[in-house]
Amino acid sequence: MIDAFIFDHVRTPRGKGRPDGGLHSVPPIELAAQTLNAIKSRSDLDTSTIDDVILGIVTPVGEQGCNMARPALLMADYDESVPGMQIDRACSSGLDAVNLGAAQIMSGQAGMIISGGVESMSRVPMGSQGGAWARDPAVISKTYFAPQGIGADLIATRSGFSRSDVDSYALESQRRAHNAWENDYFSKSMITVVDDLGLPLCSKDEHMRPSATAGDLAALKPAFAAMGEQGGYNAIAQQKYPEVFAINHVHTAGNSSGIVDGASALLLGSAAQGKTAGLTPRARIRAFASVGSEPTIMLTGPAAAARKALKNAGMNAADIDLFELNEAFASVVLEFMRELNIPHDKINVNGGAIAMGHPLGATGGMLIGTVLDELERRGQHTALISLCVGIGMGVATIIERV
Amino acid sequence: MSSQFKTIQYQLNEQGIAILLMDIPGSNANVMGDAFRDELDLAVNLIASDDNIKGAVIGSVKNDFMAGGDLNAMVEMFANVTDPQAALDIANSIKPTLRKLECCSKPIVAAINGPAMGGGLELALACHGRVVSDSAKVIMGLPEVTLGLMPGAGGSQRLPRMIGIQKALEIMLQGRPFNAAKALELGIVDAIVAPEKLIEAACQQITDGLDPIKPWDKKGYTIPGGSGFFDADLGNLYNYLTSTICRDTQRNTPAPLALLTAVARGTAVPFDAGLHIESCYFAKLILDPTARNMVRTLFVSKGELDKLSRRPKGIDKASFQTIGVIGSGLMGGGIAQSAAKAGIDVVLLDISDEQASKGKDAIAKSFGKLIAKGRMQQEKADALLAKITPSADYSKLASCQLVVEAVFEDVALKQMVFKMAREHMPADAILASNTSSLPISQIGEGLPSPDRFLGLHFFSPVERMPLIEVIRGKFTSDKTLAEALDFVALLRKTPIIVNDSRGFFTSRVISAYLQEAFAMVAEGISPTLIDNIAKQAGFAIGPLALIDDIGLENGYKASLAEKQALGERWVEPAGFKVQKQFNELGRIGRRGGMGFYDYSEGVRAPSAAVAKLYPASASAVDAEQIKQRLLYVQALEAARCYEEGVITDAAEADVGVILGIGFPSYTGGVFSLIDTLNCGEFVAALDALTETVGERFRASDWLRSRAEVGIQFYA
């Protein structure tokens, strides 16, 4: 098998996913084009050597619809011979784009691929693609549908994570993200998003609340209590988990991932193609895996995905230096740590989506690039990246520096 | 031409309008049947093909327009359908005719003179116009979902296309009837006219040029308020309705979800495709035993019992002007209240005037609450209370034709009050005990005229619970039984007749259920899990939460009394040790602040102490087995009652368990459950439970032989 390497990674800052957010005035195709442009110029690429551009987009409708990857690369002045495709598995799509690109390289069917993702949640709201899962009565019933927040609260209830546990985790995410920004840990991969005239518009993650205190977090109202009760979802969760007396609604806007805009891209390739292009590989994609998990609790896939990826790699959890798990909700990370027995100082060491936000399709690419930067900064070698995924799935990727 | 119809009076008027008046023989109401379906189809062909006919009016000569389907026929028809194509054929039995009517290019108006329910309203919806009599008799509705069914004659597709999906779903999912004014407001009917002008007004619609093409048969039609799965608001509505249905039905009754799916999917496509989708979901409901079982027990069997089908024949109907109730507590007060509501005067006796007045005050208080909620008028309350005379004086019973005692569950005490009552009452007055478990024949022993004595077991809260278990003692005469049933009918409650046995029928069945739940606690299964699975099995509340709310003491006392009464023959109930232990620990339920759960300020919470008493068992818990145990232990006890002759009729027993002790209605009752499973499967499941759980699940030789031969409880 041919090794797939990561040569470069860029990401935009994450703008607040609201009309007053720093990236709201930028169409998502521009976010994607600007990351593709940065990848091209940073490595001085001959784009005609790129075999595919794969972008995760979770809400691929409206201006994010109609395979935005292809027009985005044309907007970035890539050679017209470069194909593009958009993929969607929900939250892990950016990481899936990387895994899919790596698979093509590993199988010898492609030499160089750009993988990443984009999401302008302020312009194309989450859920606006609809879907049978949440709208068709037969499907809602059959799958024991409950919104993600109910699953997150159910995880906390079953594993005994208290409100204070999840809030403490959230506070630490804020502290770590702030510390990383203060010390320029992200600057290697961060691009400044420009406006229609080409002038700098946004260069820093906006969602962070470094001044938040434990008291501030504790004062926030549970986000999913009313929905769980009035929408019938608590009862549906109990139908799946009849040992649960009542769901403890611990998640709030403060310990859940933020809604933001952003884009990411990674340059992947074989050693041979990298050499031709004069590039130095930074890390090898050692293994990856995807799993389905129980869809009502929905968010417990990462542990199984991680185990499967570790098995594919012939590794143990102890062989991993750093873990990067999307902070969809605090309980998702706490559950992953509990399941795989991971100490807090090895996971999400520079904070995560609770502090900086989760731009759906873009997140997977951001996580893999961010942890690679951190491995290099620390002089460590291996990392496992994972995300929980809607409708009960998990995806994981293992990288190792070369 | 008209002579060819037996269910329709047909005439062509001078304006060239065919007047079709439904007159289906064999019933006071127009009930949709095969003959009518066939003749309607012929009539539509005639209207469509005869150039002299300009249009048609469909009305009725009876008091109703059309009341809907024939439930008895449905129960029979649905019983034998196992093939999807056969089910689809039933689902399509009238649909093509109505569609032909709708597309015949001539205007057809429904003249709705009285109730138009179910299929009757669906017929009207297929017409191009609808006029309604200005009469309080007129009610309309699509109540199918309350029978475990859904509208199957195009109603689920026409109504949303007429008034929008959201409003149509509200009407059909609740199944509640509405009046003419509401129908007009919703846009379901076009006009309300004086009853005597109904046909004339219908004809006028036609001569005024009523459009014979339905909006959904024209190009560019869209459903008011939108349709399909692109619409976020509709998507949210579907999600909310589905989730709350799944919560409220615990997925045991398929009808609401089938209806909702048929509407959601059927309105996303053209009308004829929608009709097919409706038929598919209707057929699924026919193939599922739930609708048949529910209709059979809740409507057919209950209806027969309400008509006193089991009353001994040839005995004059008794009337009751005054009755006595001894014991003015919760049960006695409830019985007094129910009797007063039926127009009967009540002497409410207790050990002192003060005590009796207290009992009456409690009734007044409960009325006060209803008045505050606007659910009762003060005058009504006053009139009812005026019928209840509290007293400690047994001589007041002199005018009573019947006395019910509701004193403590103590044989000697009951015998004493009956003897006191007998001294003052007319010699032929009926004495009835409201005991829930003590053998009637034993209480009746030594009473003068034991033939005039029986049990009338009311359920709490009496004013709301619809069942009375009528217990026939060893000496109870046919006349006494017949007259007691007349009394039950006056109270507008449903009687089941049960032969004497300790615990009779319903108490035996629910005790077996509660004991099984106690036994599970002893096995280390958490009360939360037991109760949640009971809810999934269809019980409104879990058994342990229920017993906590009722209190654990009385059940324990009954067990002890039984132990004492039976001596050597006593078999320790499955959960007796837990019952005993919890009573001794003072874990008596909510009233004591702790039981199977802990209670703080009235809020139920899992109890760490109970978890410590009975640590979680190491073996994995099998949720399906818990569910089986909770349901089957009751079905098995009912079968034992049947074997012992305590009950003699499966349909009656099924009505009894659903109305009396909250056995899940989707099953149709204990015997419907056994029959649906089939007795062989039931015995096989019992054998497995005997193996893994205990001897109490062992099927008797009697049941086993029935299973082997394949005898159904419903022949």
Angle at B698 between CA B694 and CA B699, to 5 degrees: 160
Nearest to A130 among B230, B257, B265 (CB): B230
Whether residue B235 and residue A130 make contact (CB cut-off 8 A), yes or no, is yes
Residue B27 CB neighbour total at 10 angstroms: 12
Q: What is the pLDDT of residue B582?
A: 98
Q: What is the pLDDT of residue A114?
A: 98
Q: Which residues of A touch B248 (CB under 8 A)?
A: 232
Q: What is the pLDDT of residue A212?
A: 95
d(CA A341, CA B212): 72
Contacting residues for A235 by C-beta, under 8 A, at least 6 apart:
B246, B247
B679 strand-pairing partners:
none
Minimum Cα–Cα distance from A245: chain B residue: B528
What angle do the packed helices B119-126 and B155-163 form, to 10 degrees? 60
Instruction: Please report the number of interchain residue pairs, chain A to chain B, with beta-carbon separation below 8 angstroms.
Output: 84
Q: Which residues of A touch B264 (CB under 8 A)?
A: 135-137
Is the CB of residue A345 less than 8 Å away from at least one CB of chain B?
A: no
Which stretches of chain B sit within 8 Å of chain A by CB? 229-230, 232, 234-235, 238-248, 250-251, 257, 260-261, 264-265, 526, 528-529, 532-533, 536, 605-606, 621, 623
Q: What is the pLDDT of residue B132?
A: 98
**φ, ψ for residue A233 (rounded to 5)?**
-70, -35
**φ, ψ for residue A330 (rounded to 5)?**
-55, -40
Structure tokens given for A222: 């549970």
Distance from CA of A244 to the nearest CA of B (A): 7
Please tell me the total number of residues recorded for chain B in this structure.
Answer: 715
Whether residue A245 and residue B264 make contact (CB cut-off 8 A), yes or no, is no
pTM, full prediction: 0.94
Is the CB of residue A238 less than 8 Å away from at least one CB of chain B?
A: yes
Whether residue B235 and residue A233 make contact (CB cut-off 8 A), yes or no, is no
| Burial group, residue B77, by CB count within 10 angstroms (0-12, 13-18, 19+) | middle
Q: Which residues of B touch A135 (CB under 8 A)?
A: 229, 234-235, 238-239, 264
Residue B128 CB neighbour total at 10 angstroms: 22
Q: What is the pLDDT of residue B501?
A: 86
Distance from CA of A387 to the nearest CA of B (A): 26
Residue B19 CB neighbour total at 10 angstroms: 19
CB A161 within 8 A of CB A195: no
Is the CB of residue A232 less than 8 Å away from at least one CB of chain B?
A: yes
CB A285 within 8 A of CB A402: no
Domain ranges in chain B are 2-287, 322-501
Minimum Cα–Cα distance from B258: chain A residue: A138
For residue B270, is the peptide bond before it cis, meaning its omega torsion is within 30 degrees of 0? no
Nearest to B528 among A127, A140, A243 (CB): A243
The gap from C-alpha A5 to its chain's centroid, in whole angstroms, comes to: 20
Nearest to A245 among B242, B606, B621 (CB): B606
Whether residue B528 and residue A231 make contact (CB cut-off 8 A), yes or no, is no
Report whether pLDDT(A289) > 90.
Answer: yes
With a pLDDT cut of 70, the percent of chain A lying above it is 100
Weakest mean pLDDT among A200-204, A366-370, B2-6, B704-708:
B2-6
Q: What is the pLDDT of residue B194?
A: 98
What is the phi-psi region of residue B283: left when phi exceeds 0, alpha when psi lies from -120 to 50, beta otherwise?
A: alpha
Q: Give the mean model confidence (pLDDT) for residues A354-362.
A: 98
d(CA A295, CA B704): 42
Q: Which residues of B touch A150 (CB under 8 A)?
A: none
Contacting residues for B711 by C-beta, under 8 A, at least 6 apart:
B679
Minimum Cα–Cα distance from A129: chain B residue: B230
Q: Which residues of A touch B528 (CB under 8 A)?
A: 242-245
Report the candidate in B283, B256, B403 with the shortest Cα–Cα distance to residue B339. B403
d(CA B235, CA B237): 5
Average model confidence (pLDDT) across chain A: 98
d(CA A71, CA A57): 14
The gap from C-alpha B291 to its chain's centroid, in whole angstroms, comes to: 12
The gap from C-alpha B549 to its chain's centroid, in whole angstroms, comes to: 24
Structure tokens given for B337: 């209240």
Whether residue A243 and residue B532 make contact (CB cut-off 8 A), yes or no, is yes
Q: What is the pLDDT of residue A134?
A: 96
Q: Which residues of A carry out catalysis?
A: 91, 358, 388
d(CA A329, CA A152): 6
Q: Which of A124, A135, A158, A247 to mutate to test the interface with B (most CBs of B within 10 A)?
A: A135
Is the CB of residue A239 less than 8 Å away from at least one CB of chain B?
A: yes
Query: Which helix (H) or strand (E) is B650 found in, with range?
Result: helix B650-661
Beta-strand runs (E) in B190-344: 191-193, 322-326
Q: What is the pLDDT of residue B542?
A: 98
Q: Which residues of B touch A141 (CB under 8 A)?
A: 242, 245-246, 251, 257
Chain A, 106 to 135: residues with Cβ < 8 Å from chain B are 127-128, 130, 132, 134-135
Minimum Cα–Cα distance from B263: chain A residue: A137
Q: Which of B169, B230, B243, B624 to mutate to test the interface with A (most CBs of A within 10 A)?
A: B243
Q: Does domain B2-287 have CATH number 3.90.226.10?
A: yes
Fold entry, domain B322-501: Rossmann fold (3.40.50)
Q: What is the dihedral of CA B22, B27, B33, B39, to 10 degrees?
A: -30
Contacting residues for B365 by C-beta, under 8 A, at least 6 apart:
none
Report chain B (715 residues): mean pLDDT per 10 consecutive residues.
80 96 92 92 96 97 90 85 94 96 98 97 98 96 95 97 98 97 98 98 98 97 95 96 97 97 98 98 96 95 96 96 95 96 96 95 95 94 96 94 93 91 92 90 86 95 96 95 98 97 92 98 96 97 97 93 92 96 97 97 96 89 95 98 96 98 97 96 98 96 96 92
Structure tokens given for B310: 């089991």
d(CA B59, CA B62): 9
Strand A260-269 to strand A5-11: parallel, antiparallel, or no bridges (unpaired)? antiparallel
User: Looking up tokens 């703008």, which residue turns up?
Assistant: A15
d(CA A382, CA B74): 68
Whether residue B243 and residue A244 make contact (CB cut-off 8 A), yes or no, is no
Distance from CA of B630 to the nearest CA of A (A): 15
Q: What is the pLDDT of residue B446?
A: 79
Q: Give the mean model confidence (pLDDT) for residues A86-110.
A: 98
